[in-house]
Amino acid sequence: MGASEFEGLPGVAVSLLKGGVGKSTIALNIADRLAARGHETVLIDLDKDGHLTTQLGYDEAYDREADLGDALIDGEDPQELLIETEFGVHLLPSNNDLENVETRLKDERFADVKLRRNVVEPLVENGYDYVIIDAAGGRGKLSDNALIAVQRVIIPLIPRAGSINGLNKMIERQIAPIRENIGLEILAVTPNMIRETMNQHNEHRTLVENLNREFGPFVPEYAQIDPEVFDALDDPGQTINPIPKPGIRERTAISRAFKRGLPVSAFDEDCDQIPNFDHLADIVEEHS
């Protein structure tokens, strides 16, 4: 099964092979910015714990009998599973049976393209413009399915020990094989939950600096800093003003919005991080 057999479908997966990095928040806000432009946007929650689904207030959907596995494996109409949110995004919720779905996929033929063939392709054929996937944390059939379904990925990293190492492992173990065999494009590697300023040596600066030095072409504009600026920040004889504040910054509005089941634009339309989510939506549009 070669790359020539596939054409990219409109959308992106937000993924990293570990949890707690803000995948759900970023996926939600990208979907929101696309929907705000008039696009019919589907947001798929592939997390087995249903973090996004339950946070948006759809606990009953997470526990309902009809689930993603019916479409993914059994070929049922995925459109029947969609929920219209109050902010205009169509949610395809997670389900408490996804662990079993993961197990069942191991025995399926062409298991890695099930999400693409049975869910994403039918949705696009039925007129939906973009599919944003909140990928499962950890390596597995569902995680691979998310990347293969749209062949594009945005990777969020947070300032903690091992972030860059985790990114390198994901590229080596998951992204590179899929890219070689089917085709996969990294749209962005974005620092997330950044709080500290760049003139202090801490995990926040270390993450942003290492990303810019090692993965510069994949760093979105709002997180880009020329390596020479970091050198100047460390030089007592030079003054950098204003001090850069790159990345998706940690904001109370973002966390409060998510706790209330909303994208940040629906909670605080003046939040200064909305343009960053808009920029990620721009990248998805440009590459889809």
Mean pLDDT, consecutive 10-residue stretches, the chain (288 aa), reads: 66 93 97 98 95 95 88 94 97 93 90 96 98 92 96 97 93 96 96 93 95 96 95 92 94 97 98 98 98
3 HSE (CA, 13 A, CB side): 12
What was the pLDDT predicted at 235? 93
pLDDT at 67: 85
Give the H or E element holding residue 13.
strand 11-14
pLDDT of residue 3: 47
Predicted local distance difference test score (pLDDT) of residue 44: 98
- State the amino acid at position 218 in one-letter form: F
Contact 32, 277 (CB under 8 A): yes
Domains and CATH numbers, the chain: 7-281 (3.40.50.300)
What was the pLDDT predicted at 4?
46
Q: What is the pLDDT of residue 196?
A: 87
Ramachandran sector of residue 214 (left: φ over 0; alpha: ψ -120 to 50; beta: rest): alpha
Dist. CA 220–CA 269, nearest whole Å: 22
Q: 159 near 61, Cβ under 8 Å?
A: no
Phi, psi for 185 (deg, rounded to 5): -115, 125
Tally of CB atoms within 10 A around 171: 15
